[in-house]
Amino acid sequence: KAGVTQTPRYLIKTRGQQVTLSCSPISGHRSVSWYQQTPGQGLQFLFEYFSETQRNKGNFPGRFSGRQFSNSRSEMNVSTLELGDSALYLCASSRDSEAFFGQGTRLTVV
């Protein structure tokens, strides 16, 4: 059974640019959540999508957005990148309460 797949694994972007990250959940999982992990703030919840609708949202600015497609694949977008957006972005999929994480996308903003 394939796990959660995140692409790309690594990204380098310049301040002011925008970026789109992709997540393919485990087959049959309809919930996809996104998290940001930094050394200073730890793991923080960004948002959750279920059946193409945002179900929960964390405390991040509007520059962070996401969407989910009918096949449950999800994308998150960060616009007007700031240096502080450098982080590991993790996606997790779940069917019930147990969440399975991907390996993440390491974003570096320069």
Partner 1 sequence: GESVGLHLPTLSVQEGDNSIINCAYSNSASDYFIWYKQESGKGPQFIIDIRSNMDKRQGQRVTVLLNKTVKHLSLQIAATQPGDSAVYFCAENRHPGANNLFFGTGTRLTVIP
96 binds partner 1 (CB under 8 A): yes
Amino acid code (one letter) for 50 = F
33 binds partner 1 (CB under 8 A): yes
Q: Binding marks (x or -) toward partner 1, 36..65, rule CB under 8 A?
A: ------xxxx--x-x----xx---------
| Cis geometry, peptide bond prior to residue 61 (ω within 30 degrees of 0) | no
Q: Candidates 13-21, 61-69, 72-80, 89-97: pick the segment binding partner 1 (CB under 8 A).
A: 89-97
Distance CA 97, CA 103 (A): 19
Burial of 17 from C-beta contacts in 10 A (0-12 / 13-18 / 19+): exposed
4 binds partner 1 (CB under 8 A): yes
Distance CA 110, CA 107 (A): 10
- With respect to partner 1, which residue has the nearer C-beta, 2 or 96? 96
Round to the nearest angstrom and report the end-to-end CA distance of the chain. Answer: 37
CB of 50 to partner 1, least distance (A): 7
User: Which residues contribute to the site for partner 1 (CB under 8 A)?
Assistant: 4, 31-33, 35, 42-45, 48, 50, 55-56, 90, 92-94, 96-104
